[in-house]
Structure formats: C-alpha cells, structure tokens
Homo-oligomer: A and B are copies of this chain.
C-alpha cells in the first residue's frame, strides 16, 4: 500500500458518464490530478476547463493517492492491470465484486449509486457512495475520503452492493422504461408526453417522505375493476401484458387490506 494516511489527490480513468461527473466534481474540489482518456485531443478541445489534466499515459497517474476507474465493466480488469501497483485503485461499478478483480493489492470499490448522463446538472454531493476493500486500512481511507465530500458514504460488501444495484434496476431502468411505454402509447394517440412530466416528478418526490406502500394510488389500488377492464380493452401487445402483470401485482399486494 502507498505510504499515505489520507487520500488527497485523485486520478480518474475514463470520461464516460461517471468519469465526466467525478472529474468535474473533484476538479471543483481541487483534488483532481489527472484524467486518463484515449481521445485526448478531442476532449482537450471540448473541455478546456480540464485541458491540462487530460492524459493518455498511465504513468502520469502514478502520484495520485487514489485512482478511480470509471470504465465499462468488461474493461475494468484490463485497465487495472496497467496501473502502477503502488496506487490505490477503486472501480466505480455496482455489479463487479471485489473477488472478480484480478489484482489483489491496493484495490477497492467506490460506487456512486446514481444514474449518470452528461446532459444536465447532477447534485453529486447527495449521491450515496458505497465503498469496500479487502484491506481494512484502505477501506477506512476510502470511507474518510468519501465522507469529506459526500453526504452518505457507507461500507458495503460486494454481495450487498450487487443486491442494491439490482434494486436500482427496478427504480431506475424499469421505471424509465415505463416512461418510455407511456410516451410510446401517447404518441400512438397523438397526445403530448410533456403533460405527464409534472406527474412523473411528483411521483418520485412523494416517495422521498412517504413509503411506496402508502403512496400507492390508482385503479388497482382501489380495486376498480371496471376501469381496469376499460384500460385493458385499449391496450395491445407488450403494453397490455405489462399492464396486466403490474396491475395483478398491485391487486395482490393490497388484497389483504
């Protein structure tokens, strides 16, 4: 392990959605040293703020206290294999277990539980960070480093992190796909998806203070079978199957009440 009792400087590998946000965040906090990218010229031009920090040489990361690997899951091991062995290296993926990392020393996880995209502001400070290492002293370093910048940082083992990532698929990926289905359905009927946007936002806001069980409304919650039948008669294909499956699940959830 590197002779440090504190993480003060960060290197980032990758400038996809996660790398992009971490790079800007840590640059703003004055602790970003380098960002490793392949297409260095294009990025220097596009992001003048980070111009002098982009590099395509792994050696330039060697003085960073922590290297955050923000690349696709299937590239993580290949990348880590090329990094200076004395640097602490943490990947940022929800679904790669520590045991899957081939390198065994100076490794850890620094997983931000959030959906990232380059458009739009993200309030990174309130994103929960899940950390882990097979070396307790590194785990503590990651924890302390995280707590310095983020509201909620917890140590979580790989198995639990994967379960959390799976739950995240339900509330993010699947939810977004329901938005997509609604938009598709409205387009079929020449109706404007924008009309649903305040409802979408309020649905997510309500859950910040109310449990999903108590927040549930709608025909299935009220057991309003005539509206449900009316809806089924309008829907076709996947949208009908989806409606039936989710409606039945809501009916079943509340049938004992």
Contacts and interface: CB of A to CB of B under 8 A. Distances in A.
Interface string A212-246: 11011111110010010011001100100111011
B249 A122 contact: no
Interface residues of A, number: 85
A220 B238 CA distance: 16
Contacts of A169: 218-219, 231, 243
A57 interface: no
A201 interface: yes
Please classify the interface of chain A as helix (H, G, I), strand (E, B), loop, or mixed, using the class held by over half of its residues.
helix
Nearest to A216: B176
A186 B169 CA distance: 12
B152 A167 contact: no
A79 interface: no
A128 B195 contact: yes
Nearest to A121: B205
B204 A201 contact: yes
A177 B216 contact: yes
Nearest to A208: B197
A112 to B, nearest CB: 10
A170 B193 CA distance: 12
B170 A181 contact: yes
Contact of A117 (B200, B210, B227): B210
A141 interface: no
Contacts of A238: 249, 252
A119 B205 CA distance: 12
20 contacts: A95-B219, A95-B227, A113-B196, A114-B199, A128-B195, A154-B195, A164-B191, A167-B193, A168-B199, A170-B178, A170-B243, A174-B243, A174-B246, A176-B203, A176-B207, A176-B216, A176-B217, A177-B249, A180-B213, A200-B204
Interface of A: 73, 95, 113-115, 117, 119-120, 122-123, 126-128, 130, 152, 154, 160, 162-164, 166-183, 185-186, 189, 191, 193, 195-213, 215-221, 224, 227, 230-231, 234-235, 238, 241-243, 245-246, 249-250, 252-253
